[in-house]
Amino acid sequence: MNGHAAMAGSGSRSLLDALEGVRDPELDEPITVLGFVASASLSPDGDAAVHLRLPTYFCAPNFAYLMVADAYDAVSAVVGVRRVEVVLDDHFAAGAINEGVAARAGFVASFTGEAVDELDSLRVNFLRKAVLAGTDLVCRPLVDAGRTPADLAALTLGEVPRSPALHRLRRRRAELGLPAGDAAPLLVDPASGAAVGDAAVPLHLRKARLTRTSLDANTGICRGMLRHRYGVEET
């Protein structure tokens, strides 16, 4: 990690460990890896202070709110933390987001007259994209090794060689409530959890590949903008 968080000291390691579980909902990457944690400190009395930063001043407020709220929840769960302050810096909606998260008010109450619903559906939609992108990561080596659409349709998760990509795919599917055990089909519809049939495999894999390519491109763009804005080095 780079930036102020890297200088927070060993006493704040538990905060950074907790924040590794907080992801950018669109990019499906930890905010620590992306460089979004500007600083994280924990006082001897248990007061936790975290500052977050984003690639641009106008990053979507709903995405920003999710990350700040998730960071607040993650830090609050750390053993020994008594008081939590999570602050988003340099963002046009920082005031509303910081106040709303601190008050546990929810997104709608934080943006009265502007937001029409909470962000659960948004989170689900991005998780579905993460499942598709993860499917491409797992299936690409299998396709390169000569596996046919019929082979892939018949495979279960337990029959796929273990890898970090497979572990990540299982976790994302479990978060959505999709089958993620050894007996679960490798290929499932991320909305319904239904197994993908032989004939639908090529289209499913194309969608998965396009989704992963899009996520990778957006991640690269965000890294570049953050680097330009704050001088953040690659992690």
What is the rounded distance in angstroms from the CA atom of residue 35 to the CA atom of residue 44? 26
- Token pair, residue 27, equals 């990019």
What is the rounded distance in angstroms from the CA atom of residue 161 to the CA atom of residue 17? 28
pLDDT of 1 reads 42
What is the rounded distance in angstroms from the CA atom of residue 29 to the CA atom of residue 11? 24
pLDDT of 233 reads 67
- Token pair, residue 116, equals 């029409």
CA 120, distance to chain mean position in Å, is 14
What is the rounded distance in angstroms from the CA atom of residue 97 to the CA atom of residue 110? 7
pLDDT of 4 reads 47
What is the rounded distance in angstroms from the CA atom of residue 93 to the CA atom of residue 89? 10
Q: Helix H segments across 106-148?
A: 107-110, 120-144
Over residues 24-64, the pLDDT tens digits come to 999 999 999 999 999 999 999 999 999 999 999 999 999 99
Over residues 106-165, the pLDDT tens digits come to 998 899 766 547 788 999 999 999 999 999 999 999 999 999 999 999 999 999 999 999
**Number of C-beta neighbours around residue 21 at 10 A:** 14
How many residues belong to the chain? 235
pLDDT of 75 reads 97
Whether 93 contacts 60, CB under 8 Å: no
pLDDT of 6 reads 46
With 50 as the cut, is the pLDDT of residue 87 above it? yes
What is the rounded distance in angstroms from the CA atom of residue 38 to the CA atom of residue 27? 18
Question: Cβ contacts of residue 84 below 8 Å, gap of 6+?
Answer: 48, 50, 72, 75, 76
pLDDT of 232 reads 73
* Residue 27 vs residues 13, 167, 212: alpha-carbon distances, Å: 24, 18, 10
Over residues 187-219, the pLDDT tens digits come to 999 999 999 999 999 999 999 999 999 999 999
